[in-house]
Structure 1
């Protein structure tokens, strides 16, 4: 009895440590809305009338549905009529282990994804059977692959982490993505395949079942991203990304109502964990670039579930769902720029179809108006890429709202102050065109950079002080070498280096006391506990105040011991010129910006960072710049003040 009590105390203690870090609140909104598996059986629509587009053989329906996009869809497919399907070699998988390259395997795979996507959409648009043979070739190519998973995710396998193991069927992002696309292919075209040979559709259905449906139901507690195990864990974008795709597979392929209801119920339990582990304030810990495949995929899942139950299961009225949506409009900086903490790019994807649909569902005018402002009718809604197949569900739903976007009011207004107290982030703007964001948080967040206390600044929707973002993913990006990559290190963010020491990775390295003050447009965070003990740091309170014509930053610190002179880093997108003691000038496209600091406190130097990684250079160009302010006089305690302004 005593041992049981000790174990219980330890369990409660562990949970108390974990839940505040991840923001766990056991809301279980979907389970409360769905009630039970038996209830699901009564509301699930099994005759496919929920599908938001015409049947394949309804030619007039497809002509009206695609409108001015019909010929473009057909033209895309015509480019692939002579496509040579790529064979993915064993050495392509092995290259991930040998050099860390994901592209060796993902490039030929992505080319196949792109080709099959274009062919299927073209056939739906034309409906004459001209693309069927080449689609069948593609279907057979996928059915004969050892695995639909990518090389970087084979570490999910138990028995071999490098090559696809024929006895295992894991579900990673790519398996779920390909499974969903092939399920739509089966739904639309299986009768056409049968006219050629019934074996084709039978083979395809069997492979979707074997690779997705069966493993999803076999042992869900062992699939980490589902978060259905006994031990609570952090839940990231994999949960909603995979669940939204797997739900499509079941709804389109599974014709046993009992099995379908059980699968949908399980997916609801899993997606509940994503919602449970998000803060009520709605911030996306992985940044705006990941929002589309985190909260955005949650929305696609909820939209699909609502369609498939005739609106009987819907949680769009819940405040947290709206908050999760409006994070994307709150962090939009204009001109395609966005706040980009964590593994996020500063260039926004501007997924206006998704933003509009989400905003409409949760009654967010700011989301629908921003979507209308960014709307470009020339953007192809069924676009695939060199990694994922075309997202058919999103494409269909985008076509459903194209007309609405044309008549919606286009507008985006920056809010003067947005506090995310639980997620520890703050946004501010002023009438002079300044848009600012800073964060607290911890260094164990999903897709983390060691950046507790860092900030970014835009003026007139142009980057002034930046977060470089993240480069091309390799094996090192998510391995033990992650924090040897410069983009992940705090000394390449807008932060201090204390006694020569940078921030440490791990959830225990986190922000201390935070202060939000909307009236004064003020945010402060003590970042001392984000540094390891070697930094000899007792307090480092960084405060930000956005005034009418400047951003003022104050560092107030106390050290236990002086080992090396402090350094303070500012990352810039344009070349900085030291114009006088205490004053650095740099361009901001439309004019000059000035960084001012204590001339008697710091000696400045400038480092030029050459960007050889195309993922970074496509955002920033060939170079970015690192300003290093090195303290002249070592002090155990003191205050540094910096201002950034247009004059």
Structure 2
């Protein structure tokens, strides 16, 4: 099949091919996925210790497979051993996605429950089981007779037993109905494995019909603006697998899932969330600097005219080492001479995100509601990104643990209201739930910036609070005026919170971050530092500037002015 027969590597992929060769040359024993490693999550709630071992095994698998498919003369004996070892794994699903007697899942309630569906751990069809099935199916199909028949037969049997059998069974799978990345990744990867390994049959047709319904639900989870509430990282994940599946389905059946106006809007989403220089708005459980697969961007550029890839990610940028992303970069990447540009201002009305780009600084803010996929309590949050650094910040994703995806989610710093630049009203934080929403009152692109107003009243449950309007007025020359207009039945103490990863300096009636952004203040402020761990388990410190105000009974307006110090030693540049 086309995705497994790679063309000659262009010079732009030299670094990636060198990464592949280096990992393929590693002949150290594969990390062991023994009982202690597997059971660690159920005992401690820690995901990373097991997953690091698991992903290192996938890295070796992918590197050896890519090397073999790039070089028809490559020896495949070590790859055969790795394929055999993957078939030996107790389960291809992650422990965090498995529910068995006396053990709890770390994901949102109902994400994966092998026992509830009648499947044990070995046949739990989660994201990573589906991805593994697709990788193995594509590798053995691409290698054909170069691989020992016994290895190929075992791989085919294990893919069928672990993934295709649950997919063919009529019992509901736990992720069906989610309408997010689970639908497209699980259905897309499992569906591609089915198309690769099965001949035309009623069984295959029923699987593809099931996958088609999942893809419909996935698309329905997006608004007409094409925005991904989970952020750019999950756009790469969910939409990437949607595209990979759609291309293969079109090749095999003629059905074109990409021929949909909403798909074209979704394809443009990351460019609307771009802050410049490889940074993107890190709202929800996203990261500021996600990696975007070059092959995926090349295919989208060809189909929809979206910007082509500006950089080639390294082999290690995807710490989960997903075969589909790597293989499509090797198969689909095309050098492009076009220089991509982004608009001065983007607004996603369904997400209620605004991103406005000045010559040296970018402003972004969000509305939405507090029950979005990978939700944070962050209605009315904003950021200021200056010359490649997000000074007023959204922290993005924290470390995924069992409790991070539980009823105690908002006790964790990153998804909590404490980690966002939003007001605390009468000591009350924003509350979770779909009814806790921000209504867009105004969005207007102006010649010199943008005006963006949100009604945040529903986000709080405070006796005496009648209305809370947050107004942003941003000038692209580097000035932001934030005004909270409060209507109250009684005097209400309010704490305005401004979050950064840079330690603030408070002096001379001002707060300064990174000697770049200044907030004028006319009252004493407090600063606290909150420590946590980021998505990769590294130490992460948020510095919170706390500014007290009192909203009297009636209507009052409280304005805060931020100014960006632009570089005087060089001309202003356009952030792209």
Place the TM-score, normalised by the shorter chain, in its bin: 0.7 to 0.9
**Higher strand residue share:** 2
The alpha-carbon deviation at position 269 of structure 1 amounts to 1.8
With over 3 angstroms needed to count, the CA separation of the structure-2 counterparts of 1:206 and 1:347, relative to structure 1, is same
Rounded Cα–Cα distance in structure 2 between residues aligned with 1:112 and 1:605: 48
1:109-188 to 2 correspondence within 5 Å?
Answer: 109-128=54-73, 130-132=75-77, 134-155=78-99, 161=104, 167=120, 169-188=123-142
Rounded Cα–Cα distance in structure 1 between residues aligned with 2:511 and 2:537: 25
Report the counterpart of residue 32 of structure 1 in structure 2.
Answer: none
Report the counterpart of residue 527 of structure 2 in structure 1.
Answer: 606
Report the counterpart of residue 202 of structure 2 in structure 1.
Answer: 258
The alpha-carbon deviation at position 469 of structure 1 amounts to 1.5
Do the aligned residues in 2 keep the contact of 1:288 with 1:328 (CA within 8 Å)?
A: yes
With over 3 angstroms needed to count, the CA separation of the structure-2 counterparts of 1:52 and 1:613, relative to structure 1, is closer
Report the counterpart of residue 240 of structure 2 in structure 1.
Answer: 296
List per-residue Cα deviations over 1:618-640 (Å, max 9, x = no partner).
xxx86442111012676564111
Do the aligned residues in 2 keep the contact of 1:525 with 1:541 (CA within 8 Å)?
A: yes
Give 1:218's match in structure 2, choosing from 169, 175, 181. 169
Rounded Cα–Cα distance in structure 2 between residues aligned with 1:385 and 1:417: 29
The alpha-carbon deviation at position 389 of structure 1 amounts to 4.1
Do the aligned residues in 2 keep the contact of 1:153 with 1:172 (CA within 8 Å)?
A: yes
Report the counterpart of residue 506 of structure 1 in structure 2.
Answer: 433
With over 3 angstroms needed to count, the CA separation of the structure-2 counterparts of 1:307 and 1:65, relative to structure 1, is farther
Do the aligned residues in 1 keep the contact of 2:417 with 2:429 (CA within 8 Å)?
A: yes
With over 3 angstroms needed to count, the CA separation of the structure-2 counterparts of 1:255 and 1:604, relative to structure 1, is same
Report the counterpart of residue 40 of structure 2 in structure 1.
Answer: 95
The alpha-carbon deviation at position 211 of structure 1 amounts to 0.8
- Structure 2 unaligned segments of length 5 or more: list them: 106-112, 566-576
Give 1:429's match in structure 2, choosing from 350, 357, 370. 357
Question: Aligned residues, how many?
Answer: 551
The alpha-carbon deviation at position 567 of structure 1 amounts to 0.2
Report the counterpart of residue 551 of structure 1 in structure 2.
Answer: 480
The alpha-carbon deviation at position 249 of structure 1 amounts to 0.4
Rounded Cα–Cα distance in structure 1 between residues aligned with 2:210 and 2:551: 61
The alpha-carbon deviation at position 260 of structure 1 amounts to 2.4
With over 3 angstroms needed to count, the CA separation of the structure-2 counterparts of 1:107 and 1:572, relative to structure 1, is closer
The alpha-carbon deviation at position 160 of structure 1 amounts to 6.1
Q: Aligned with 1:438: secondary structure?
A: strand
Pairing 1:200–2:200 present: no
List per-residue Cα deviations over 1:138-192 (Å, max 9, x = no partner).
222222222111110003x589657987845121011011111111222133523
Pairing 1:538–2:471 present: no
Do the aligned residues in 2 keep the contact of 1:468 with 1:616 (CA within 8 Å)?
A: no
1:552-571 to 2 correspondence within 5 Å?
Answer: 552-562=481-491, 565-571=493-499
With over 3 angstroms needed to count, the CA separation of the structure-2 counterparts of 1:519 and 1:172, relative to structure 1, is same
Do the aligned residues in 2 keep the contact of 1:551 with 1:645 (CA within 8 Å)?
A: yes
Rounded Cα–Cα distance in structure 2 between residues aligned with 1:501 and 1:141: 53
Do the aligned residues in 2 keep the contact of 1:335 with 1:462 (CA within 8 Å)?
A: no
TM-score of the superposed pair, with normalisation by structure 2: 0.87
Do the aligned residues in 2 keep the contact of 1:77 with 1:120 (CA within 8 Å)?
A: no
Bigger Rg, structure 1 or 2: 1
Give 2:311's match in structure 1, choosing from 375, 378, 402. 375
Pairing 1:328–2:273 present: no
The alpha-carbon deviation at position 411 of structure 1 amounts to 2.8
Report the counterpart of residue 349 of structure 1 in structure 2.
Answer: 291
The alpha-carbon deviation at position 428 of structure 1 amounts to 2.0
The alpha-carbon deviation at position 644 of structure 1 amounts to 1.4
List per-residue Cα deviations over 1:314-336 (Å, max 9, x = no partner).
24343211111111001111122
Report the counterpart of residue 443 of structure 1 in structure 2.
Answer: 370
Rounded Cα–Cα distance in structure 1 between residues aligned with 2:133 and 2:42: 26
List per-residue Cα deviations over 1:498-530 (Å, max 9, x = no partner).
000101112121124532223472111111111
The alpha-carbon deviation at position 466 of structure 1 amounts to 0.6
List per-residue Cα deviations over 1:125-150 (Å, max 9, x = no partner).
34346332x22322222222221111
- Structure 1 unaligned segments of length 5 or more: list them: 1-47, 56-60, 228-233
The alpha-carbon deviation at position 263 of structure 1 amounts to 2.0
